[in-house]
Amino acid sequence: MAASLYPSIQVGTQLALFLANRPGTIGTAADVISRAGVNILAMTTSDTIEHLVMRIVVDKPKTALHALESHGTLVIESEVILLEGANRMGSLSTIANLLAEAQVNIDYAYCATPSNSKQGLLVLRPSNVAKALKALNKADLSRTGEKKFIAAAKARADLEAKAKSASKIAPIRGRGGRE
């Protein structure tokens, strides 16, 4: 089999920090993490009026967890899938459709990659981590396999569209030409 476009697919730990939504809280959390000797590999935030959820993947999750909790921060650990691989157009489409085919929902995902970078990191929170990991590891994620998968997905979509349009039945008209 050809080399995978995603050479590293692994389960990682994400920390969700619950913070007040006001200036300085992200900086303070980052200070605590940095002083503990921990590097942030990925981060995203979501907010409400009063609260902020900061989701992070770090190189030393247990160390970060301990430092943040010692600082009085509410932190929840969860498993995520970390995909390091090709920074290419269509990569997310391939992964998302592959997981959908395996009946795995993506609860949320985040990534950021400079446009000139050949590699990127995608963080996925699937509905079922074990099932998602199995589907991703089983798939042929080489360039050839990705092309085959995209072609098969397109063919399925075309068939579904044809079936949907064929199932539309014209209304039965009476003798007067009215329905």
Give pLDDT tens digits along the chain (179 positions).
445 556 688 899 999 999 999 999 999 999 999 999 999 999 999 988 889 999 999 999 999 999 999 999 999 999 999 998 878 787 888 889 889 999 999 999 998 888 888 888 899 999 999 999 988 888 766 555 555 555 655 666 666 667 777 666 656 665 555 55
DSSP 8-state code for residue 177: S
CA distances from residue 152 to 97, 101, 156 in whole angstroms, order as listed: 11, 11, 6
pTM: 0.74
CA distances from residue 9 to 141, 148, 164, 172 in whole angstroms, order as listed: 11, 20, 36, 55
CATH architecture of the domain with range 8-161: 2-Layer Sandwich (3.30)
d(CA 33, CA 35): 6
State both tokens at 157.
């979509």
Phi, psi of 158 (to 5 degrees): -65, -45
d(CA 14, CA 56): 6
| 31: helix, strand or coil | helix
